[in-house]
Amino acid sequence: MTPNKTPVPPPATPPKPPLEWKPANLWLLLFALVALFWLRDLWVASTQVQPIPYSEFLQHLKTGQLESVTVGSQFIEGKLKTAQADGRTRVVTTRVAPELARELAGYDVRFEGVVENTLLRDLLSWVVPALLLLAVWSFMARRMAAQGGLGGMLSVGKSRARLHSETDIKVSFDDVAGVDEAKAELRESVDFLKNPKSYGRLGAHMPKGILLVGPPGTGKTLLARAMAGEAGVPFFSITGSEFVEMFVGVGAARVRDLFEQARASAPCIIFIDELDALGRARGAGPMTGGHDEKEQTLNQLLAEMDGFDASTGVVILAATNRPEILDPALLRAGRFDRQVLVDRPDRKGRADVLRVHLKKVTLGTDIDPDAVAALTPGFAGADLANLVNEAALLATRRGADAVAMADFTAAVERIVAGLEHHQRVLGEHERRTVAVHEIGHALVAMTLPGTDPVHKISIIPRGVGALGYTLQRPSEDRYLARRSELRNRLAVLLGGRAAELLVIGEVSTGAADDLVKASDIAHDMVTRYGMSPEVGQVVYERQQPRFLDLPDAMTLERGLSDDTAQRIDAAIRALVDEAFDRATAILGERRALLDEYAQKLLAQESLSEADLQPMADLARKGPVPD
């Protein structure tokens, strides 16, 4: 074991460049060109009669021996009336500039033109530039190959997706820790890939597209590779930005090519990393040059996803840390309709991730993964891998035999200092406030009937929720809400703030978002749903007219008298105040539960549905204020 092994995944095998311009090839080419020129000259020489001096030609002309004359650009050819001694009837002479010829003819002198041998000049004038061009090309091709792409221009449109065969991927789910829920969701698809035929037995089909959503460094890419490793199938991966990299029109061709390759080697996994680079909502953002290109690529991707049958055994995985900017068309049924959350790990998850990475370094006896996990709230998997490496580096620099706990504390300080520049890290008091606030929401929700069940509570800093969040999934789609349900919803929203006031003794800014939502609901109850006896069943607000609605729609809005406006305001306030009082009453009755679970949440950072079950059972038993 080496102490400072960097925990990175095994590198992708570099693709082979398509054509090698070895020096040997270049010399061969040069030789061929020279030979060509030499042959040409030889041929020219053999087909032509030996030129005679121009003066001699003039002599023939003057004595009337010529029957006809053909004038070329370099040579003048004459046909003799009578054959010469050697039997030839043709004479050839090299042209001489006319004025010069006239002047020279005045003297009794023998003169002739010469055609210079242009072989060398030809070589220099265009063979050398051609060679230079070739050299530049081969240099570039090699550079591109070295950068991991298939050699440049020769393979434009060929997908740069790297094919990992089964033996390539040695990553398994064991290497990914702290994301148990995501692994559980993916396991089904692994079974499908292992045995696509039996899955279709009852006519069911797997989701085609799975989108891994989560902050950077939480192991999305790792998880995708692990999935291929587990299923033992080929893995085609490509990064969203690679699609739109080089030439216009290439992106769409790449998508087509990628799917073609995948279909040929099914069952397999296609993985599109950083989908947001490619799948940004169309028509959004500034109209830049690359815009159309992206749109074309995206359209091609959508078409390919629609065009193939899920039973072929190709699973398309994609990852993003910005799901909110994705084009909605990508998330529609039949495309990436299943989303898997890969969030930052909680305390136990961090300890698990650390155990994976600690295997790679030599450890002292005083290292406790749980203790390190406690020091690192908000760290993602990649941060933890980095932490282990930093600690190992520190120990190496110290000249120690093993990494000690002190190295870890020093490394944590370093990394946190780096993170603090751009990301907030919560202090102990803030964490407690957030924990109490979230349990407040959950406890009220569990007490009141008809509210959505609580699936998970988390106070992981920099997780998907801004500070902390209580995940309530609606159990059914509702079109109608009864008044009592809306009142309960209001109480749940105010439960956070009520808990803060009860336990901490003071309210904080953490409830700002809750208050906005609560005010909206109360406002609608009064002005749109006619649910307040003081105001009556008159609608005081229409839905905002939309962009192209008739202008008359706006004039329909009723003007409010001052008196009515006051009554509306009072009614809204009464609803919110009442909800706050109800929440406070509920929590006051269950103060022991509130304290106990706030403590638990603070320690664990996240509580699952199973963790919360005892609290839900007890909460329901207590009295419910009206």
Identify which of residues 221 and 488 has a Cβ nearer to Mg ion in the complex.
Answer: 221
Give me 435's structure tokens: 């924990």
| Candidate list 3, 209, 217, 378; residue touching ligand ADP; CB under 6 A | 217
Q: Is 385 in the site for ligand ADP (CB under 6 A)?
A: yes
Identify which of residues 272 and 531 has a Cβ nearer to Mg ion in the complex.
Answer: 272
Per residue, the 3-state secondary structure of 117-154, as one string, reads CCHHHHHHHHHHHHHHHHHHHHHHHHHHHHCCCCCHHH
**Segment contacting ligand ADP by CB under 6 A, of 114-122, 217-225, 239-247, 588-596:** 217-225
Q: Is 387 in the site for ligand ADP (CB under 6 A)?
A: no
| DSSP secondary structure letter of residue 82 | S
Q: Is 219 in the site for ligand ADP (CB under 6 A)?
A: yes
**Segment contacting ligand ADP by CB under 6 A, of 19-27, 87-95, 174-182, 388-396:** 174-182
| Candidate list 315, 340, 353, 486; residue touching ligand ADP; CB under 6 A | 353
Residue 264 class from Cβ within 10 Å (0-12 exposed, 13-18 middle, 19+ buried)? exposed
SS3 state of residue 335: coil
Alpha-carbon distances, residue 261 vs 6, 175, 227, 248, 314 (angstroms): 33, 28, 19, 22, 11
Q: Catalytic: 609? A: no
Q: Is 451 in the site for Mg ion (CB under 5 A)?
A: no
Ramachandran area for residue 424 (φ above 0: left; ψ -120 to 50: alpha; else beta): beta
SS3 state of residue 52: strand
The closest of 551, 555, 522, 527 to 541, measured between CA atoms, is: 527
Q: Closest separation between CB of residue 220 and ligand ADP, Å? A: 3
The catalytic residue among 390, 438, 500, 605 is: 438
For residues 315 and 250, what is the distance between their CA atoms, to the nearest angstrom? 24
Q: Is 511 in the site for ligand ADP (CB under 6 A)?
A: no
| Candidate list 76, 141, 150, 179; residue touching ligand ADP; CB under 6 A | 179
Q: Is 221 in the site for Mg ion (CB under 5 A)?
A: yes
Identify which of residues 91 and 275 has a Cβ nearer to ligand ADP in the complex.
Answer: 275
For residues 356 and 373, what is the distance between their CA atoms, to the nearest angstrom? 13
Q: Is 176 in the site for ligand ADP (CB under 6 A)?
A: yes
Q: Is 275 in the site for ligand ADP (CB under 6 A)?
A: no
Q: What residue 496 binds from ligand ADP, Zn ion, Mg ion, none (CB within 5 to 8 A, per partner kind)?
A: Zn ion
Q: Closest separation between CB of residue 513 and Zn ion, Å? A: 7
Identify which of residues 175 and 293 has a Cβ nearer to ligand ADP in the complex.
Answer: 175
Give me 22's structure tokens: 């070895």
Q: Which residues of 34-50 are buried (b: 16+ CB within 10 A; e: fewer)?
A: eeeeeeeeeeeeeeeee
Q: Is 514 in the site for Zn ion (CB under 5 A)?
A: yes
Strands 338-341 and 454-458: unpaired
Give the dihedral of Cα atoms 389, 391, 396, 401; nearest 10 deg.
Answer: -110
Q: Which residues are catalytic?
A: 438
Interacting residues with Zn ion (CB under 5 A): 496, 514
Interacting residues with ligand ADP (CB under 6 A): 7, 9, 176-179, 216-222, 319, 353, 356, 381-382, 385
